Copies of this chain bind each other. A is one copy, B any other.
Amino acid sequence: MTKIHFNKITILGVGLIGASFARAMRKNGFCDHMTGFGRNTGNLINARERGIIDSFEAEPAAACEDADMIMFSTPVGSFINLTEKSRSAFKKGSIVTDVGSVKGNLVYEMERLMPEGVYYIGGHPIAGSDHSGIDSSKAELFRNAKYIITPTENSDAGALETVSGLWRSLGSNVLTMTPEKHDRIYAAVSHLPHIIAYAIVNAVAEIDNSYLGFCGQGFKDTTRIASSPPELWRDISLLNRDNLIETISIFRKNLDMLEYYLSTSDAEALEVAFKKARALRDGIGPN
């Protein structure tokens, strides 16, 4: 493998993931200069003072000038607009990538928007959490985490190898799949649980707000991701709407079945369903 090195990387969105990526690149000596862009100037100043980025710009196009790699780590809902605003500044031969939780159509739209000779490769590190912001960022965030890369038939082979190699070097377990498959999988194992966590918390508050004060560890674990950033999850949900609606309907069918066993006091069927779920859950490990 050739040595990984970029003269300049632009980080669009210096939050948990963007800042962790910048820290990881710095720590590994993969980049000389990192420039940030984001809506919140105070955050950018903070990131520069801490040495997470080296500089920042008030406009995305200015931030992207002369960059060898442009990393989209803003909420997914902003990718298209940001690309339209900044693509005129993308350098020929540069790589544009992202860490968005939704791929699907977005990947093809991003590809379509790339100037001639600029290579887009979509990716998604499975390393989010209910935490957000640079205070929670760390260089080791991606180590031993899955990283999904979603090339299409239009992807440049060299750019694909560069992005894959980069994430492998950050310690991630790189998995390749189509944008469509990515979105079906993550509708089920990520977007559905978020929607459900938000719905549980709102349901308990509707029953009686004061009940929340009596909860134990189980409730806390089950609803932890309801603390995730609302704007981000609004965008993710809408961008993966059709898959998400389908997974909600299959979830609802499973919930309805458990409720039916309950209402008919079918102890055996209830136990069989619980046992099946436990065996599956145990299969993915404890933490």
Contacts and interface: CB of A to CB of B under 8 A. Distances in A.
Interface of A: 126-130, 145-146, 148, 175, 184-186, 188-190, 192-209, 211-231, 233-235, 237-238, 241, 244-245, 247-248, 250-255, 258-259, 262-263, 265, 267, 270-271, 273-278, 280-287
Copies, count: 2
27 contacts: A126-B215, A128-B216, A129-B218, A146-B216, A175-B214, A184-B207, A185-B208, A185-B211, A188-B207, A189-B204, A189-B212, A190-B218, A193-B223, A194-B218, A195-B259, A196-B196, A196-B200, A198-B273, A198-B278, A218-B228, A222-B225, A223-B281, A227-B282, A229-B278, A230-B278, A245-B259, A252-B255
Contacts of A206: 250, 253-254
Given A197-B222, A216-B127, A271-B230, A205 B280 contact: yes
Given A190-B219, A229-B278, A235-B267, 18 more contacts: A126-B216, A190-B218, A193-B200, A193-B218, A194-B218, A195-B255, A195-B262, A198-B278, A199-B254, A202-B254, A207-B250, A222-B225, A224-B281, A230-B271, A234-B267, A238-B262, A245-B259, A245-B263
A128 B275 CA distance: 18
Contact of A198 (B130, B200, B216, B274): B274
Contacts of A211: 184-185, 188-189
Contacts of A227: 278, 281-282, 286
B265 A241 contact: yes
Given A216-B126, A224-B221, A198 B258 contact: yes
B284 A220 contact: yes
